[in-house]
Structure 1
Amino acid sequence: MKFFFFHLMPYADLDLSYADTHDSAWLTLPNRYFDPAKGQALYQRFIGELELADQLNFDGICVNEHHQTAYGIMPAPNLIAASLARTTKQAKIAVLGRALPLVNSPVAIAEEFAMLDNLSNGRLIAGFVRGIGSEYHASGVNPTLSHERFYEAHELILRAWTEREPFRFAGRHYEFEHVSLWPRPVQQPHPPVWIPSQGSTETIEWTAAAARKYTYLQTFSPIKVATKAFDAYREVARKDGYESQPSQLGWAVPIYVAETDEIARRELKPHVEAFFNRFLRFPMEMRMPPGYSSVRSTKALIESKFAARSSATTIDGLIELGMIVVGSPETVRQRLAAYHADLGFGNLIAMLQVASLPADLTEKNIRLFASEVMPHLAALGTDRDTAASPIAA
């Protein structure tokens, strides 16, 4: 199994009483709640936490993109990734991910990622996402065009990375007379592509297709939802003539490790409950703008993930749903091993800083996870030898 430290970079100093007068921590929350002095200190702290994970031999460190929200103050993850490329030594740097439909120039993302791959000496993992619903309100992009723009931008970026002669690109949404990427990525034919998702049916089918075989990440979901998504990925792979591998699946989950189960619950409780009840607070019309998802994907998400989140208001409810893993090193090891047996993932995307969790507890969590959990689970999630498999052939 590969271990990644995922950081949302939340505005940890958020005044949680905002909820008395505002219904969302996204888009409509006045930016007077953001104190630049506290913000710059948080950026320095958070980058240091990611650097610590590299020093503790995590396989990768992860950043991502969100806009106009206290949930994650990283609207330009390429800037954080560029900083990490210079200060880290061995960990993969996963940008999970850039929201392709929100940009007017996919070539700019191709250039940006190629630069990061050079700066990090081939350690980049390129994450592509459509962006959650609220990002379309923030960007002014028509959500009904989300899928079309994503697929077209992806095609353009892959061509820009791999073609060696200038070419013209004329699509429905993007048109370029000249594309000839400078610099080229270090990794050939291109950096690995990962696709984080909340479980969209179309995304799973597209990601698992034999033409791509991209790594699929299920993000912050009840364990039943993650199981359904991974089973769907494996089924698409079989129908497409190959057997999927654990390395093609990643599970993202908040994790907290402390000396005992009691201490872990006590220390995490106010912060994880703030995360789900305050930092993730925004109306359904922001989450799912009309046209953003197909009818079948919207129905599935509302019935499973969002319905579960609406009832997950306490640490006990979150643990019961499998949306967080909390406890002593032994408890965390056992639960992760059991979840792995059910899910079959090869990449664990551990969110080790949650909402308002302070620096001292975050560092303790990172260190305990690295020393008391990772070595015990590293042998899980190994790819199978499929050379003789008729399905793989």
Structure 2
Amino acid sequence: MKFYFMHLMPYADLDLDYDQKYNSAWITLPNSYYDPKKGHVLYNRYLDELEYADQLGFDGICVNEHHQNAYGLMPIPAVTAGALSRRTRNVKIAVLGRALPLLNNPLVVAEEFTMLDNITGGRLIAGFVRGIGAEYHAWGVNPAESHGRFHEAHDLIVRAWTEPGPFTFEGKYYDFEYVNTWPRPYQQPRPPIWIPSQGSSETIEWAADPSRKYTYLQTFTPAAMLAKYMKMYKEVAEGYGYEASEEQLGWSVPLYVAETDEIAMREAKPHIETFLNKFLRMPKEMLLPPGYLSLKSMMGVMKAKGAIGGHQTIDSVMEKGMFICGSPATVREKLEQYQKEIGFGHLLTLLQFGTLPAELTRKNIEIYAKEVMPYLRDKTAAPVAAAGA
């Protein structure tokens, strides 16, 4: 198993009483709530935290894309990844991802990612997403075109990376007389592609196709639903005639570890509950606009996301396996159990969430890196070593 530190870069200085006037920290919350001087401090603090993960031996660090909200301050994640590319030396940098259907020109992503891949000497992981429903409100894009625009943009980018240019591309949504991307990718024939999702069955089937075999990431989901979606990917792969590897499956989950269970619960409680009830606050019509999902996928995603509806507590999300919290021994036991039962090869931990302050974030990163990761590396490497022997 490989270990990644995922950061959302939230606006941690948010006035938490905003919900007395507004129903969400997304789209409709006035940007007058944002103080650029505080933002300057936060951005540099968050970059320091991601860089620290490189020093502590993480396999990768992850950034992502969201628009017009206090939940995550990375509308253009390539800017963040670019800042990290020269200050890190060993970690993979995963951009998870760019929301392809929002773009009028997907070749921008082809160029951004190849620049990052060249600067880092091949440490880029390219994440492609459709973007959650709120992004379609933010950008004024028709959510009913989401799948079509995503697939066409994906095809254009992959061809731009792998086919000699110039060539012509003619599609329903994108039309280019010249596709001739400079620079070319450092990794040949292209960077690895990961597909984060909320659990769309169409996305799982598409990612598992033998022509792609992309790593599928399940984001912030109850453990029971995580197991269901991981099993679905494996069954789809089997239907295609191959066995999916653990390298093709990943899980993103918030986590907090401290000296004891009691200390971990006490320190994490106000910040995870703020994350759940303030930063994630969003009406269903904003999260899942009409046309965004098929009826089949809508039912599955609603079931998964229904687990985070209403007021959430640290106990309720821990019970569902949506938040891992405790002493190193407790966290090791939980993660080992989930990995054995579900069989994912990439673990993306959200080690800063909501209002978690710098000193607790740093402590969380250190204890996790020194007392959890090495244990799990040994445990998950053992079967491979035994098989080799």
In the other structure, the counterpart of 1:123 is 123
In the other structure, the counterpart of 1:347 is 346
For residue 245 of structure 1, what is the amino acid of its counterpart? S
Runs of at least 5 residues in structure 1 that lack an aligned partner in the other structure: 386-393
Structure 2 vs 1, CA of residues 384 and 102 (structure 1 numbering), >3 Å: closer, same or farther? farther
- In the TM superposition, residue 26 of structure 1 has moved relative to its aligned partner by 0.3
In structure 2, distance between residues paired with 1:31 and 1:343: 41
In the other structure, the counterpart of 1:390 is none
In structure 2, distance between residues paired with 1:193 and 1:384: 26
Is this contact kept in 2: 1:4–1:348, CA < 8 A? yes
In structure 2, distance between residues paired with 1:355 and 1:207: 31
Is this contact kept in 1: 2:221–2:305, CA < 8 A? no
What is the root-mean-square deviation in Å for CA atoms of aligned residues?
A: 1.2
Structure 2 vs 1, CA of residues 293 and 29 (structure 1 numbering), >3 Å: closer, same or farther? same
In structure 1, distance between residues paired with 2:383 and 2:245: 7
In structure 1, distance between residues paired with 2:195 and 2:189: 18
In structure 1, distance between residues paired with 2:107 and 2:98: 13
Structure 2 counterpart SS, 1:378: helix
- In the TM superposition, residue 166 of structure 1 has moved relative to its aligned partner by 1.2
Deviation string for 1:90-121 (max 9, x for gaps)? 00000000000000111111011000001111
Is 1:368 equivalent to 2:361 in the alignment? no
In the other structure, the counterpart of 1:329 is 328
Is this contact kept in 2: 1:197–1:217, CA < 8 A? yes
In structure 2, distance between residues paired with 1:50 and 1:374: 16
For residue 375 of structure 2, what is the amino acid of its counterpart? H
Deviation string for 1:45-74 (max 9, x for gaps)? 000000000010100000000000000011
Deviation string for 1:187-241 (max 9, x for gaps)? 0000000000010010011001111000000001000110000000000000001
- In the TM superposition, residue 311 of structure 1 has moved relative to its aligned partner by 5.1
For residue 356 of structure 1, what is the amino acid of its counterpart? T
In the other structure, the counterpart of 1:240 is 240
Is this contact kept in 2: 1:311–1:317, CA < 8 A? no
Identity of matched residues, %: 60
Aligned pairs for 1:140-159 (under 5 A) are: 140-159=140-159
Q: Tell me the number of residue pairs that the alignment of Structure 1 and Structure 2 aligns.
A: 384
For residue 342 of structure 1, what is the amino acid of its counterpart? E
Structure 2 counterpart SS, 1:87: coil
In structure 2, distance between residues paired with 1:230 and 1:247: 12
In the other structure, the counterpart of 1:310 is 309
Moved runs in structure 1, 4+ residues, more than 6 A? none
For residue 5 of structure 2, what is the amino acid of its counterpart? F
Structure 2 vs 1, CA of residues 347 and 380 (structure 1 numbering), >3 Å: closer, same or farther? farther
In structure 2, distance between residues paired with 1:98 and 1:237: 25
In structure 1, distance between residues paired with 2:109 and 2:312: 37
Is this contact kept in 2: 1:312–1:318, CA < 8 A? no
Structure 2 counterpart SS, 1:244: coil
Aligned pairs for 1:252-263 (under 5 A) are: 252-263=252-263
Runs of at least 5 residues in structure 2 that lack an aligned partner in the other structure: 385-389
Aligned pairs for 1:353-392 (under 5 A) are: 353-381=352-380
Structure 2 counterpart SS, 1:320: helix
In structure 2, distance between residues paired with 1:290 and 1:384: 46
- In the TM superposition, residue 380 of structure 1 has moved relative to its aligned partner by 4.6
- In the TM superposition, residue 379 of structure 1 has moved relative to its aligned partner by 3.5
In the other structure, the counterpart of 1:391 is none
Is 1:112 equivalent to 2:100 in the alignment? no
Structure 1 counterpart SS, 2:28: coil
In the other structure, the counterpart of 1:388 is none
TM-score normalised by L of structure 2: 0.97
